């Protein structure tokens, strides 16, 4: 018997227990509590598949968010055994004792059970940091876009990989203390535009947006954001890049 086949047999036979936080803030009868669900694990099962399994076979009332099932939309972030992660990119086989506890991501508005509203906050953040190219140049769409150095384009595209999952905020102690803290997602968004030569904003302009304790000076460099970001973005390097720029603004 080859090793993979043997492993699949073990996994297929296993029963796992998901202990899930249940609460509906819009229902006066509802009280926060945990509920256990026992399911049979299948090979390659992700937490997303486990939750769908529970939803379709055991409990139609369970709420959680997902769209893409591929680590792209950022909807399925939740706290898994104490750490914020994407449900669709987490294999149940990682948990050798078969016990998995799920909670909604903190610091966002709770909708129900594992479902939270990240969109309202992300939208407000995008507006606050003016998350778009600022240029006085008239764009002529019949012409090719102004070229930039490939290394610079790579740096910008790397930061554009952010999926706005909110995990960096859920991992951040400053965010717990300061409701309006922009977090890694907001600060690194400003770095994305500061690096992009299409954007004509100066360091003074960025200082107006992030030069306070709700912005760049609120970060305590505890690295929780970088430890948990599912896209492995270089969050602390780019926050440090913006901090260096901002301390030089008189
Ligand atoms: S920076 Fe990383 S953890 Fe934060 S929202 Fe973007 S992808 Fe998620
Ligand atoms: S469902 Fe889209 S990132 Fe998990």
Q: Whose CA is nearest to atom 5 of ligand 1?
A: 164
Q: C-alpha dihedral over 80, 9, 68, 19, to 10 degrees? A: -30
* Residue indicated by tokens 């249940």: 22
Report, as ranges of residue numbers, the positions in the chain whose pLDDT lies below 70: 1-13, 250
- Pick the ligand that lies closest to the CA of residue 71: 2
Instruction: Measure 126 CA to ligand 1 centroid, in angstroms.
Output: 14
> Alpha carbon of 83 to those of 31, 74, 76, 195, 244: distances in Å?
24, 16, 13, 31, 30
Residue 10 pLDDT: 45
Domains (range + CATH), the chain: 3-116 (3.10.20.30), 119-135+146-247 (1.10.1060.10)
Q: Whose CA is nearest to atom 3 of ligand 2?
A: 71
Q: If we measure between CA atoms, which residue out of 206, 236, 234 comes closest to residue 222?
A: 236
What is the rounded distance in angstroms from the CA atom of residue 130 to the CA atom of residue 44?
41
- Pick the ligand that lies closest to the CA of residue 78: 2
- Is ligand 1 within 6 A of the CB of residue 164? yes
In 3-state terms, what secondary structure has residue 121? helix
Ligand 1 pocket mutation, candidates 73, 116, 161, 165, criterion most atoms within 8 A of CB: 165
What is the rounded distance in angstroms from the CA atom of residue 76 to the CA atom of residue 70?
10
Residue 146 pLDDT: 83
Q: Running DSSP on this structure, what letter comes out for residue 108?
A: S
Residue 140 pLDDT: 87
Q: 170: which 2 tokens? A: 């859920």
Predicted TM-score (pTM) of the model is 0.92
């Amino acid at each position: 018997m080859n090793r993979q086949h043997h492993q699949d047999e073990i996994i297929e036979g296993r029963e796992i227990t998901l202990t899930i936080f249940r609460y509906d803030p819009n229902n006066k009868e509802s009280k926060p509590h945990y509920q256990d669900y026992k399911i049979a694990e299948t090979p390659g099962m992700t937490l997303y598949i486990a939750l769908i399994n529970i939803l379709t076979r055991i409990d139609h009332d369970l709420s959680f968010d997902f769209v893409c099932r591929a680590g792209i939309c950022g909807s399925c972030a939740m706290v898994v055994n104490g750490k914020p992660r994407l449900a669709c990119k987490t294999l149940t086989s990682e948990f050798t004792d078969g016990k998995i506890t799920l909670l909604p991501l903190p610091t966002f508005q709770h909708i129900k059970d594992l479902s939270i509203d990240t969109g309202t906050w992300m939208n407000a953040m995008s507006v606050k940091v003016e998350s778009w190219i600022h240029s006085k140049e008239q764009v002529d769409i019949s012409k090719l876009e102004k070229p930039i150095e490939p290394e610079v384009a790579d740096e910008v595209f790397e930061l554009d990989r952010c999926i706005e999952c909110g995990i960096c905020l859920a991992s951040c102690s400053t965010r717990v203390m300061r409701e309006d803290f922009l977090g890694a997602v907001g600060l690194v968004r400003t770095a994305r535009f500061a690096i992009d030569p299409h954007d004509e904003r100066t360091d003074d302009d960025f200082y107006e947006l992030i030069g306070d304790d709700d912005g760049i000076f609120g970060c305590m460099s505890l690295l929780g954001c970088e430890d948990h970001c599912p896209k492995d973005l270089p969050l602390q390097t780019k926050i440090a890049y913006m901090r260096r720029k901002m301390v030089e603004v008189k």
